């Protein structure tokens, strides 16, 4: 078998090969969902993605006999340094055939690149940050990939751990059956009593409207930055990144599932819950043309899952039952005729005991586990 060579991506043709590699490697994996190719190009474009206003990255491909057989990115982020400390470089977008030589060449390229920039630890996968898709799937392979949830085959774990990578922390994805709660099971009264307490204190939950989306998302992202600030790996999102994400999410948002919690007109909490547009993407094979647009436009007729992408409350208001009011609104939405009543919530850090207890209290179960790895340099 010919030798493996690893080199940086050079030009648009190389970038296309980088983007399209998983389409070849994962085509027989029913749980993997092809991303939109044009969206991946946009996300990886250094001129368009505001991540590159505070970070630098290199994209690598591994080749054998002229065919791309693996890929990886290496990145350093000034905002990570500011908010998480240490001397970390990150890797992401890891894909490879089941071949230790390929994985070793890719990881070595990423490790060398970040070490040359003074970093002492390689951390990941992150595509590109913890605000994006991150973690390697290590449990829950049978679950289909939902929106913004990566899916990886089991051999990726074997490859990375075989190269000396060690666990840093796990991220949990919970499954919730809101239909059970709407029938008044034993958990619902606890949620409703806390939600009633929030209303007595003047908290109002309202749905976001697309016509005011930019302003509402600005307020939600302010809550996001402040409520998650103490979490491991959290880096506050910038205004430019907020606008970039708003533009990406706007086509898939459902107004009734995106909500703010307000007190005296001030946003103190919120939730961003997304219909699982991956159910449409699975039928599109990465393209809007010639028929992908038709599947996308019809998505409302067959999408039956949601992902609670973010839900949080400012720390000084958490005693008011605001989170319960947001949960209750989800239950009320799920109770409407024809509404979606199941999905995933997360990810949630394995160390976040209060949030994981809340998921248990709502009858949830862990269905996926993602792992962040580290490698000393």
| HEC string for 11-77 | HHHHHHHHHHHHHHHCCCCCCCCCCCHHHHHHHHCCCCCHHHHCEEEEEEEEEECCEEEEEEEEEEE
SS3 of residue 134 by DSSP: strand
In this prediction, residue 297 carries a pLDDT of 57
Closest by alpha carbon to 340, among 262, 276, 282?
Answer: 276
Higher-confidence position of 106 and 86: 106
Closest by alpha carbon to 33, among 359, 361, 282?
Answer: 282
How large is the average pLDDT for residues 9-32? 94
In the predicted model, is pLDDT for residue 371 greater than 70?
Answer: yes
The residues, any chain, with a CB within 8 Å of residue 324's CB and separated by 6 or more, are 190, 191, 192, 193, 194, 195, 197, 198
In this prediction, residue 292 carries a pLDDT of 55
Closest by alpha carbon to 340, among 147, 160, 202?
Answer: 147
SS3 of residue 244 by DSSP: helix
pLDDT, tens digit, for every residue of 181-199? 554 454 557 777 888 899 9
Higher-confidence position of 358 and 32: 32
* Spacing of C-alpha 54 from chain mean position: 20
Taking the C-alpha atoms of residue 142 and residue 355, their distance in angstroms, rounded to an integer, is: 25
SS3 of residue 112 by DSSP: helix
**Superfamily for domain range 175-368:** Gcn5-related N-acetyltransferase (GNAT) (3.40.630.30)
Strand locations in the chain (E)? 5-8, 55-64, 67-77, 88-96, 121-124, 126-127, 133-134, 136-139, 166-177, 203-207, 258-263, 266-275, 306-313, 342-349, 365-376
Fold of 8-170: Aminopeptidase (3.40.630)
Output the pTM of the full model. Answer: 0.92
pLDDT band at 179 (very low <50, low <70, confident <90, very high): low
Higher-confidence position of 6 and 302: 6
Taking each helix axis from N to C terminus, what angle separates 188-200 and 322-334, rounded to the nearest 10 degrees?
A: 120
- Which residues belong to CATH 3.40.630.30 in the chain? 8-170, 175-368
SS3 of residue 277 by DSSP: coil
In the predicted model, is pLDDT for residue 351 greater than 60?
Answer: yes
Taking the C-alpha atoms of residue 242 and residue 51, their distance in angstroms, rounded to an integer, is: 11
Closest by alpha carbon to 317, among 325, 308, 306, 309?
Answer: 325
Q: What are the beta bridge partners of residue 70? A: 62, 96
Closest by alpha carbon to 370, among 164, 145, 178, 162?
Answer: 145
In this prediction, residue 181 carries a pLDDT of 54
How large is the average pLDDT for residues 82-111? 95
How large is the average pLDDT for residues 237-247? 90
- DSSP 8-state code for residue 250: G
For the ranges 111-115, 215-219, 368-372, which has the lowest average pLDDT? 215-219
Taking the C-alpha atoms of residue 367 and residue 342, their distance in angstroms, rounded to an integer, is: 13
* Spacing of C-alpha 262 from chain mean position: 26
Taking the C-alpha atoms of residue 44 and residue 95, their distance in angstroms, rounded to an integer, is: 16
In the predicted model, is pLDDT for residue 117 greater than 60?
Answer: yes
């Amino acid at each position: 078998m010919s030798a493996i060579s690893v080199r940086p991506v050079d030009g648009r043709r190389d970038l296309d090969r980088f983007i399209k590699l998983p389409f070849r490697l994962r085509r027989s994996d029913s749980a993997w969902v092809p991303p939109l190719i044009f969206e991946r190009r946009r996300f990886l474009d250094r001129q368009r993605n505001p991540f590159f206003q505070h970070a630098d990255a290199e994209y690598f491909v591994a080749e054998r006999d002229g065919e791309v057989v693996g890929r990886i990115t290496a990145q350093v982020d000034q905002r990570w340094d500011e908010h998480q400390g240490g001397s970390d470089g990150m890797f992401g977008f890891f894909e490879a055939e089941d071949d230790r030589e390929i994985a070793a060449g890719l990881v070595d390229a990423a490790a060398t690149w970040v070490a040359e920039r003074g970093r002492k630890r390689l951390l990941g996968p992150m595509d590109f940050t913890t605000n994006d898709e991150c973690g390697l799937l290590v449990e829950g392979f049978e679950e289909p990939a939902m929106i913004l949830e990566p899916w990886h085959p089991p051999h990726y774990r074997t490859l990375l751990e075989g190269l000396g990578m060690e666990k840093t922390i796990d991220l949990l994805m919970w499954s919730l059956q809101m239909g059970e709660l709407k029938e008044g099971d034993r958990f619902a009264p606890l949620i409703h009593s806390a939600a009633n307490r929030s209303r007595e204190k003047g908290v109002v939950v309202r749905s976001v409207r697309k016509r005011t989306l930019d302003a509402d998302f600005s307020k939600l992202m302010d809550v996001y930055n402040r409520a998650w600030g103490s979490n491991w790996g959290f880096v506050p999102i910038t205004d430019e990144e907020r606008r970039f994400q708003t533009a990406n999410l706007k086509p898939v948002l459902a107004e009734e599932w995106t909500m703010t919690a307000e007190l005296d007109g001030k946003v103190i909490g919120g939730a961003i819950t997304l219909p699982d547009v991956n159910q449409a993407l699975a039928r599109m094979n990465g393209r809007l043309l010639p028929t992908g647009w038709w599947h996308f436009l019809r998505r409302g007729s067959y999408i039956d899952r949601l992902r609670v992408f973010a839900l949080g409350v400012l720390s000084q208001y958490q005693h008011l039952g605001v989170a319960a009011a947001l949960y209750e609104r989800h239950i009320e939405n799920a109770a409407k005729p024809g509404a979606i009543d199941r999905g995933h919530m997360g990810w949630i850090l394995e160390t976040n005991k209060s949030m994981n207890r809340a998921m248990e209290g709502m009858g949830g179960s862990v269905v996926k586990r993602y792992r962040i790895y580290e490698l000393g340099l």
